[in-house]
Amino acid sequence: MIILGIETSCDETSASVVKDGKIILSHVVATSQEMHAKTGGIIPENAAREQVKSIIPVIETAISDSLQTRSAPEARQAADYSKNKAVDSPLRKSDSEASRLWAVDHIDAIAVTIGPGLIGSLLVGVETAKTLSYVWKKPIVPVNHLVAHIYANFICEFLKSNFQFSKKGEPKLPAIALVVSGGHTDLVLLKDHGNIKWIGGTRDDAAGEAFDKTARLLGLPYPGGPSIAQAASLFKGEKQIMRAPRPMLDKDNFDFSFSGLKTHIVRELAKYQNIVEVSGAFAWEIQEAITDVLVAKTLKAVEKYKVPTLLLAGGVAANTRLREKFRLEIENCKLEIDFRVPPPWLCTDNASYIAACAEYNYKPVPWKKVSANPSLTIMDKQSA
């Protein structure tokens, strides 16, 4: 199937055209992060306003970009489209418009994030998708953003840049999946598509939230994850001056807790006059503390459930140190596991994995029944 994905849950406006849940034909992401960096975090109303501005241009670009990746016969078909169709339509003015209409005609379904996320932002994507579904007469598939993050691991190719990033084939299920994003940290057993068992998660702050909040304390820009990662990589772990807690590491469960880290950093920072001088050392230790707990707990779940596959997903999965630690630990412990993590640009929010998730969990619903749900959890069914 060819699915148009739409994602607007937070501060990214994204649209992608994805074939068979695996091959990206087009991938467009507009972000309002720069604006939020100025205010030190997201102001939901501003994020929603930016979504409104970007949604139509982003979808239009995704559709026209998808044409560039079509085969030569398909491209000819697209170019001839205006001749084949009724020419009296006021919409079919030029060849490029005709080609775009051909691309729209060759979309099998629309997938849209319905939650979780910011209500104002979600509504923009949901209402646009419903309108397009009605006007274009395409089925619409509501998608749970958290479940969808996992499906970035099922995408293997980006046709536009002729970029193949996974030659290992489709990940085998069952799998343990760690979803680490700005608002959520969930460890799940993905038994099969549409069959998920939640085995643990954060009791307070999410891993991404811990990065964002501690970065703010250190005076580093939003989003905090990449800022902390960069400051830590410059510091390289030399001359450590502070030890952060690794909460819940020894607990016999799969839960996490990151809010204590923030309190600890506030206390430790008070000992220093000049935050800039110690920000690298602090950033290093914060990254070590968060990644240590994520790796240890996840690998414990892998051992308990004896699954063949481990899937890492969500914005925090873009973290180089986290990826490296998983690889090292799996090697050191000689775990026989197929460890997958998407390329960093597929970890952070985008519509390609929304379309991929819809392909593997294809449950269209009438457009009138699709509604945004900002507080959806990873266990909630995405269909109404």
Does the protein bind ligand KG4 through residue 183 (CB under 6 A)? yes
Interface with ligand KG4, residue 205, by CB under 6 A: no
- Contacts with Zn ion in 126-185 (CB under 5 A)? 181
Contact between 10 and ligand KG4 (CB under 6 A)?
Answer: yes
Shortest CB 307 distance to Zn ion, Å: 23
Instruction: Indicate the residue among 65 and 349 with the shorter CB distance to Zn ion.
Output: 349
Q: Fill in the per-residue mask, 328 to 367: x = in contact with Zn ion (CB under 5 A), - = not in contact.
A: ---------------------x------------------
Q: Strands, DSSP E only, in 21-93?
A: 23-31
- Report the candidate in 243, 220, 246 with the shortest Cα–Cα distance to residue 233: 220
Query: Are the beta carbons of 164 and 185 closer than 8 angstroms?
Result: no
Single out the segment in contact with ligand KG4 by CB under 6 A; choices: 27-35, 197-205, 208-216, 245-253.
208-216
Cβ contact 133:28 at 8 Å: no
Q: 224 touches which of Zn ion, ligand KG4, none (CB within 5 to 8 A by kind)? A: ligand KG4
CB 138 within 8 A of CB 132: yes
Distances in Å between the Cα of 42 and the Cα atoms of 183, 218, 230, 378 are 12, 18, 21, 22
Reference 63, options 30, 29, 27; nearest CA is 27
Secondary structure (DSSP) of 234-257 = HHTT-S-------TTTTSSSS-B-
Q: Which of residues 110-139 bind ligand KG4 (CB under 6 A)?
A: none
The answer to whether 279 contacts Zn ion (rule: CB under 5 A) is no
The structure tokens listed for 58 are 């982003």
Decide if 136 contacts 104 (C-beta within 8 A): yes
The residue (of 288 and 349) whose beta carbon lies closer to Zn ion is: 349
For residue 284, the partner it binds in ligand KG4, Zn ion, none, with Cβ less than 5 to 8 A by kind, is: none
Binding interface with ligand KG4 (CB under 6 A)? 10, 181-183, 208, 211-212, 223-226, 229, 314-316, 318-319, 348-349
